[in-house]
Amino acid sequence: MSETVKAGRRDQLFAFLLEVEKLKSVTRATPIHDGSRHENSAEHSWTLALYALVLAEEAAPGVDPLRAVKMLLIHDLVEIDVGDVPIHSAGGTAHGSTAIQGAEAAAAKRIFGLLPKDLGDDLQALWEEFEAAETPTAIYAKSLDRVQPVLLNQLSGGGSWLDYDVTWDQLQTRVGTKVARGLPGVWDWVQAKIRPWFSARGL
């Protein structure tokens, strides 16, 4: 590779790296552990990367924990363009809606398109694998993505559960089924921790 080509590639690498700094400014619905402020999406992604490493012993056969780390480090980069869409939101632009899925796909194309094509294509494919949640590694990563906010809400006294009037049944449908798909033992453990909060409120 000539110095000219290498310099051009370096420009693209740093264009991407400087762009993704913006993830630190994306505020999430979930508060941090002490409830003093809301978490940002970069903090969320970093924490999930640690979850993937630490909870690897809980993973199903066929899971590649290091590949999961990669997925989780990039999975929310689309929020630079789209923002955080809370799991408990409702309406036409709710989490998982057609409108949001389309906006996130466009964001992924733009953001990964800043990179040299070989690397951009690899990260785009990794993001798509996570979103589809069909491979063992993507199912594991998606389960971690769903369980971390639950634990933050519990630590902070309710967090976004209070903001969105979340019931136990809603939590099971929107979150529990997805966590249990990849980490059934973890979801059993988490339920025992959080059930009293909902029971005390008749939810």
In sequence order, what are the beta bridge partners of 40?
27
Nearest-angstrom CA–CA distance, 132 and 130: 6
Topology (CATH level 3) of domain 3-200: Hypothetical protein af1432 (1.10.3210)
| Domain locations in the chain as residue ranges | 3-200
Alpha carbon 170 to its chain centroid, in Å, reads: 19
Q: Do residues 108 and 100 touch, judged by C-beta distance below 8 A?
A: no
In the block, tokens 């997925």 appear at 71
Nearest-angstrom CA–CA distance, 124 and 109: 7
The two three-digit tokens of residue 62, written as one number: 């066929």
* Torsion, Cα of 134, 139, 141, 143 (10° steps): 140
pLDDT (tens, 9 = 90+) of the chain, 203 residues, equals 888 878 999 999 999 999 999 999 999 999 999 999 999 999 999 999 999 999 999 999 999 999 999 999 999 999 999 999 999 987 555 777 899 999 999 999 999 999 999 999 999 999 999 999 999 999 999 999 999 999 999 999 999 999 999 999 999 999 999 999 999 999 999 999 999 999 999 98
Q: Do residues 146 and 175 touch, judged by C-beta distance below 8 A?
A: yes
Residues 135-165 as b or e (16 or more Cβ within 10 Å = b): bbbbbbbbbbbbbbbbbbbbebebbbbeeee
